[in-house]
Structure 1
């Protein structure tokens, strides 16, 4: 019923402007936390904590992840209840920007943690409703292309991270951090503002379904595909989280002389290549109306890349395996995000349900350290990669078992 509403000529004319504005907004929101958590925050913690930086950063990261997980669900649910997304995104953007600008004012680690937790909550007031907004307005015929456009977000986040860490923005301890977070806040606002100004004001996909649900509250919903999509992403995210945390150590294990700048360039090139590849695969999935096959194939390619990395006889083959892994992973995560919107059974609970899906991004961070500590010291990275490849194969099988179109 919702699809019929979105198939109207007016909706068709508005599809692409919304898709492009949405992709820019999502990339901006991603840039809001990526460079801060991976680059700027560790440097600030080092300034304040000195030799104790590592345990403080671990504590801060854990508390921030818990805050992000819970508030993403809460704000998504709140936007479901009110029936509007724009206001939540706008208020969250104002609060997140203000708290981001306030971070340099924290001169103690407990104060920094308190501000970070508040900032995480405000940022997820943007992310939770923003994720659901796409489900409200993007019809199934564009879910693949939407996923392809979302692949732009990691590449944009990396570019923003490189920009805000330029030496020209360094003004000494504290001052440099303040300048960089101010630039970061400005980039985020400018990225999200077009969607707030020109995006649709209503939730056209929701009203008909809400009405149907109200008249038949006990009607069954297709939860099987939802569970399989959730578990498949969790299994694949285990591999992504592991490589994100330990990739530098693996690079050094195959070439002890590899410079960090070389590692960054390899990762950046692969992220850039993933954007057109994700768009092509997403467009194919939309044209053929076969959303699960590309995801299953990509999960299998993730597994193949990990097997090559585990068994590679030398550096060249290992890097080729990593290239296959990284490309397949980036495209998988982007397309999965788009196709998840296809299987959620209740548009009136879309924000809350997407918050639950967001747990697949945070739960692996709690599992990965124990997995790595248990395998790498005694059996090496090869054993770890083979375990992760098994997880990816299971994810591929789960996706192939989905029959809903």
Structure 2
């Protein structure tokens, strides 16, 4: 349990808050660009070919992000330092953001630019993820997970901000995104001043690792459980609007955006409360398993929805549970990685659970929806979430 610990046994609140802001900066770097700004620019430049262009860009970007995250996590392990990689990645990815709108009319050049941008972005994100494992003790992982819930919320909010009428002209939006990213990431590098915890960089003695550290079967279960939930979350993120329109054709596009925004904002206090409870009780994995159960139940409910109100209520429950799951999982993953000396590389492999779903989800959707409708797709996704809960709820949680 975390009660009774002195201040020197905890990482400083300042570092935790600034670190969470930096992770949010990573989300700000890619969410507005990939979900709003790039599609708008490509549609204007390519017209009917825009969908094809975006498909090529999304695939190449996912591959570059996956390989870059693993590579730079590994390099930060080998060099024994994270900061220089974070700084270099921040500088390179920010500079390339300012180039995207200048090459958007040339598909080959756009592909190259975005691939290199993904490489630099993951030069920042890979070591940044591992840095938390170096500096945040296990008894604060739940609170860390709660703070990480700010990242997707701020990423979505930044997209709304830069596209809000009167805030920035179209040719100024990427510059505004770049400014927001730098403003979010730099403070932890300049002002974080984290307390060192040398024991987090040393392998625990054989037999003293505890039930959540070391065994590769636990690492594999954590990886697979996140992949299963991420596939469901990615499918809902991509097709929420189309599903709502299939139930209520008059549904305006603003409804999906509003529901998505409310879910993300609501997830922040809920994740903080659940993460704090996990720290106080020592139940690191139980909240993840229960969140996956709620995702499964919500998807089953969504498969039977016949009205817009039922659909939105089901998605709100699913979205909230999935957001809590993903934020807490990111923090608790740091508990189960077997070797501190390969933490960056291993987190890069875990990052595949964020990128692989974007490759799985289109094929799954095309196989299910034309034949069985969205109800059939949601039943399959419910099965995936149910399997994730089983993988997690068999853990013995340390006290």
TM-score when normalising by structure 2: 0.93
Query: Alignment partner of 2:197: what SS?
Result: coil
1:120 match? 118
What is the total number of aligned residue pairs between the two structures?
389
Give unpaired runs (5+ residues) of structure 2.
207-212
- Kindly indicate whether the alpha-carbon contact (under 8 Å) linking 2:135 and 2:194 is maintained by their aligned counterparts in 1: no
Q: Does 1:150 align with 2:148?
A: yes
1:403, CA displacement in angstroms?
2.4
CA separation in 2, counterparts of 1:299 and 1:320? 17
1:58 match? 55
Give unpaired runs (5+ residues) of structure 1.
1-6, 214-219
CA offsets, 1:100-119, max 9 Å, x none?
11222214121111111111
CA separation in 2, counterparts of 1:206 and 1:130? 19
Query: Alignment partner of 2:395: what SS?
Result: coil
1:4 match? none
CA offsets, 1:119-152, max 9 Å, x none?
1000101100000011111111111111111111
Q: Does 1:346 align with 2:344?
A: no
CA separation in 2, counterparts of 1:210 and 1:332? 27
2:210 match? none
Q: Which of 246, 249, 255 in structure 1 is aligned with 2:248?
A: 255
1:357 match? 350
Q: Which of 97, 100, 103 in structure 2 is aligned with 1:100?
A: 97
1:167, CA displacement in angstroms?
2.7
Distance 1:269 1:201, change over 3 A: closer
- Kindly indicate whether the alpha-carbon contact (under 8 Å) linking 2:266 and 2:320 is maintained by their aligned counterparts in 1: yes
1:109 match? 107
1:169, CA displacement in angstroms?
4.9
- Kindly indicate whether the alpha-carbon contact (under 8 Å) linking 1:75 and 1:128 is maintained by their aligned counterparts in 2: yes
Query: Alignment partner of 1:282: what SS?
Result: helix
Distance 1:207 1:319, change over 3 A: closer
Q: Which of 315, 319, 333 in structure 2 is aligned with 1:322?
A: 315
1:248, CA displacement in angstroms?
1.0
1:199, CA displacement in angstroms?
2.6
RMSD: 2.0
TM-score when normalising by structure 1: 0.92
Q: Which of 257, 260, 264 in structure 2 is aligned with 1:264?
A: 257
CA offsets, 1:268-307, max 9 Å, x none?
1111111000000111111110011111000000000000
2:128 match? 130
1:201, CA displacement in angstroms?
6.9
CA separation in 2, counterparts of 1:270 and 1:401? 29
